[in-house]
Amino acid sequence: MIYDNAKRTISLQLVRNVSNVHEAWFANEDEVRKAVGLLDKTEIKPPKAREVCWVKHVEFVCATYISTSISDGPGCLTLRCPTPSCGAAVGVDMVNMLTSDEDKKKYQRYLLRSYIEDNKKTKWCPAPGCDCAIEFDLGSGSYDVTCHCSYSFCWNCTEEAHRPVDCETVSKWIMKNSAESENMNWILANSKPCPKCKRPIEKNQGCMHMTCNPPCKYEFCWLCLGQWSDHGERTGGFYACNRYESAKQEGAYDESERRREMAKNSLERYTHYYERWATNQSSRQKALADLHQMQTVHLAKLSEKQCQPETQLKFIIEAWLQIVECRRVLKWTYAYGYYLPEHEHAKRQFFEYLQGEAEAGLERLHQCAEKELHTYLNDDCSQEAFNNFRTKLAGLTSVTRNYFENLVRALENGLSDVDAHGASSKTSSSKNAAGTSKTKGTKGKGSSKVGTTSRTDDSTGWSCDQCTYMNPRSATSCQMCENG
């Protein structure tokens, strides 16, 4: 049997992995004891503790030694007796016997932190201000975990949850967003070096007459980089340069302009994806704030106004949670799109189609949860109207969830529905990605074409073939996806 104190000492001093303590102990108990500083197998009772070599030290000195080590940091967890001939480990029992209550609390915090950080199945939540730790089973497939504080992150890289992109793409994207490379691209695309001192000069006015900053103060032409004193009305004036135009026709500026144009195109492409990535991030933050407002203020008001318990209004919270999650997924699809090879035209076309459909579906859900809900918060509406709203919002939530789940699956599979020659049809592939079948998680098997609707003689209404929403017979277009 391994005593708890001994087990903790072994895991801290030697193994650093609780799951291996028993294996190391039973393989060679004497060797383990010697390595980690455990004394004789006989348990030492506190009254006889002075019989150990610590008797050579005054108790006050021992307590001071331990207390100082605790104040220095987590290294106190592997503290040994200072006597060279002893080397006994200072364990929890000794700490509890000789230190103050404050030092005991510090030691326990270090002990807990050590357990969390040294255990492969536990990690601290990376959210700012959160003190929670999470235990996670690595065999579950997905690396996305959600803390009690509602923060979701990737177990593998500890960045925020980022499906459908992998950790390597996230790392490259974050680095690119903060890297000097984009600053250099901007400089290359929007500035030119001074012909004299070579410092980059930004053109911030329409005139071609440039003056370098002090102490250089060199005056030159923006277009041809020639000395300004050689320019005038005969060379084209302030807003043109005949020298530049003639030199360009001769090919003198082709390479320089080509590099500048490439940098400009690269910057514009990056800006396109980054702006949309950042916009969805802002929309997600706003949705989180709206969710909090709904949970703390509006739900109670709506419950009173509709004479329904809050438990029957959970469909609203579920809708907002889905909006928050979809904004996160949509945000990372722009990082996915940025790194999708430009020469894979079929995949890019299919990806942009799926992304556009996802955006449209999310906007319908967001508008319903945000704008239409305010009608029932601020105005008096019939119970029937509110029930219809409930059906619509719950249906939109379900349809949007299914679409995004299948979108994530399609992107994580590398858009495998598109073959190497780009021959697969957009219609059949989009149906698979959007999950048109009624069974969650399976490929679409509906035989009808996307964009058609199925009307039956059933007195209850008709079902939309695109989103499967059951519409009343009087509806001429789907009330869920607006498909006609």
What is the set of active-site residues? 207
Give the phi and the psi of residue 379 in degrees, each rounded to 5.
Answer: -115, 160
Helix/strand/coil for 200? strand
**What sign does the dihedral 242-244-246-249 (CA atoms) show?**
negative
Closest CA to 340 of 349, 330, 331: 349
How far, in Å, CA of 50 to CA of 457, rounded?
93
Q: Are 155 and 143 in contact (CB under 8 A)?
A: yes
Q: Are 199 and 193 in contact (CB under 8 A)?
A: yes
How far, in Å, CA of 202 to CA of 187, rounded?
8
Question: How far are the Cα atoms of 52, 70, 71, 421 from residue 97, in angstroms, in the given order?
Answer: 14, 14, 17, 75
Angle formed at CA 398 by CA 392 and CA 403, multiple of 5 degrees: 125
Question: How far are the Cα atoms of 75, 76, 88, 107, 424 from residue 68, in angstroms, in the given order?
Answer: 11, 9, 18, 12, 70
How far, in Å, CA of 295 to CA of 97, rounded?
48
Q: Are 101 and 107 in contact (CB under 8 A)?
A: no
How far, in Å, CA of 182 to CA of 217, rounded?
28
How far, in Å, CA of 142 to CA of 129, rounded?
25
The pairs formed by 269-278 with CB atoms below 8 angstroms and a separation of 24 or more are 269/338, 270/176, 270/182, 270/185, 270/338, 273/334, 273/335, 273/337, 273/338, 274/177, 274/334, 276/334, 277/173, 277/331, 277/332, 277/334, 277/335
Q: Are 66 and 57 in contact (CB under 8 A)?
A: no
Q: Which secondary-structure segment (H or E) carries 201? A: strand 200-202
**What sign does the dihedral 338-343-346-347 (CA atoms) show?**
negative
Q: Are 455 and 483 in contact (CB under 8 A)?
A: no
